[in-house]
Amino acid sequence: MNALRRVSALAPRVAARAQYVQPTLGSTAVRAFAGSGAAVPEASKVSGLPAAHELGSVDNGFFADRVDKVKEPERRAFTYFMLSGVRFAYASAARLLVIKLVSSMSASAEVLALAFSEFDLSQLEVGKAVTVKWRGKPIFIRKRSQEEIEREAAVPMEYLRDPETDEERAIKAEYIIVIGICPHLGCVPLCDQGEFNGWFCPCHGSHYDLSGRIRKGPAPLNLEVPPYKYIQDELILMG
């Protein structure tokens, strides 16, 4: 209690003396004002916080010490010209890089040559089949007799797992052209085999008729018909 009473008694004296304490300028502030050319006020004129605020910050010396690096307009134009040249060079290099990248992704002349192939069917006998190669795939081409054409055209659609008419699968009825890859697991079927005298896959027992349609076995789809067209009566262009 005695300590509290003593502190309470000394507090008014300390507050009264604090009003007469004059803040002094530090050496850093004096150097800053001297470097900026401003007049340093006397310590006797600084009597409180408002006067200290008027002195400002030492950061004000930045504006007085700053040097403009580019004063001449011709130097500025030269700088812009050099920067524009460098940017143009970068843009040209990027353009060439994109062109080379796109050209490398396009097909070469050898690949384009293999994409289209001509096949002459004039030497193929009725009832015979031949296997040719196109884009690395076996192609089955069979010349069918009139009896075979009529038999395949008469198959009801409800008997087929993947319904397609014979007319949809052959541009000319006498020639049936299919890709020789079983759609089940990619095996190559055997010609003139199976229960329907067409093709038979020995891997898992899929049977195809003379139109290349799946008739029995695990294959889900018919043998695929490649893209082709007749450029002459018995000359086809595949691709």
Which H or E element spans position 151? helix 146-153
Distance in angstroms (rounded) separating the CA atoms of residues 235 and 19: 115
Q: DSSP character for 139?
A: E
Catalytic residue, chosen from 53, 184, 204, 207, is 204
For the question of residue 184 being annotated catalytic, the response is no
- Per-position DSSP letters for 191-208, written without gaps between them: EEETTTTEEEETTTTEEE
How many helices (H) and strands (E) the chain has is answered by 8, 10
Range 143-150, long-range pairs (CB < 8 A, 24+ positions): 143/174, 143/175, 144/173, 144/174, 144/175, 144/176, 144/210, 148/210, 149/173, 149/174
Give yes or no for a contact between 9 and 2, defined as CB atoms under 8 angstroms apart. no
Q: What distances in angstroms separate CA 226 from CA 3, 119, 126, 212, one per listed residue?
A: 108, 13, 21, 12
Give phi and psi for 75, each to the nearest 5.
Answer: -70, -35
Distance separating alpha carbons of residues 188 and 141, to the nearest angstrom: 14
Contact assessment for residue 210 and residue 223, using Cβ atoms and an 8 Å cutoff: no
- Residues annotated catalytic, as ranges: 204
